[in-house]
Amino acid sequence: MQFRLRHCLALTTLALVAATAHAEQQITLVGQNDLRYSKSQLTAAPGERIRIKLINKSHLPASAMSHNWVLLKHGTDADAFDHAAQSASGNGYFPKSRADQAIAHTDMVAGGKQDTVTFTAPKKPGDYEYICTFPGHFRAGMKGTLHVRANP
């Protein structure tokens, strides 16, 4: 009887550990006409799976108020990335020439629409900037930071 109880406890513990290891953090970000994300500070553990859902609640036309979410690699010059994005209108303002500088990104989202991206947080602790590359949005302040910490 005692062996069976220990066996059940061990299996339960393993199941909980496995479930936790595969859990992903789900974050919803909202963009509106104020050129800000609803959250400018995010926190994750190194290597954590993250699902970002970006919702655009603007009522303006897509040509005037679309949003995306681009997470940049540590050390990337956000100004230079945004500048390159302005020449990439045919690719949703995501510059293919600098794709290696991004960790993850959503598509450009028009008002009333949403997009989701799932990725793994960097394994190296640090601060990682995210920006909107629709013309003028980053410079107006549509940005934030993902803080990767060992103990978030």
Distance CA 125, CA 96 (A): 26
Counted domains in the chain: 1
- What's the confidence (pLDDT) of residue 152? 57
pTM of the entire structure? 0.85
Phi-psi region of 109 (alpha: psi -120 to 50; beta: other; left: phi over 0): beta
Domain, as residue range, for 51: 24-148
- Convert the pLDDT of each residue in 60-109 to its tens digit: 999 999 999 999 999 999 999 999 999 999 999 999 999 999 999 999 99
What is residue 17's predicted lDDT score, i.e. its pLDDT? 41
Does the residue 60 lie in any domain? Answer: yes
CATH number at residue 58: 2.60.40.420
Asked whether residue 1 is domain-assigned, the answer is no
The answer to whether residue 11 is domain-embedded is no
Is residue 40 assigned to a domain? yes
Nearest to 30 by CA among 119, 115, 91, 135: 115
Percent of the chain exceeding pLDDT 90 equals 84
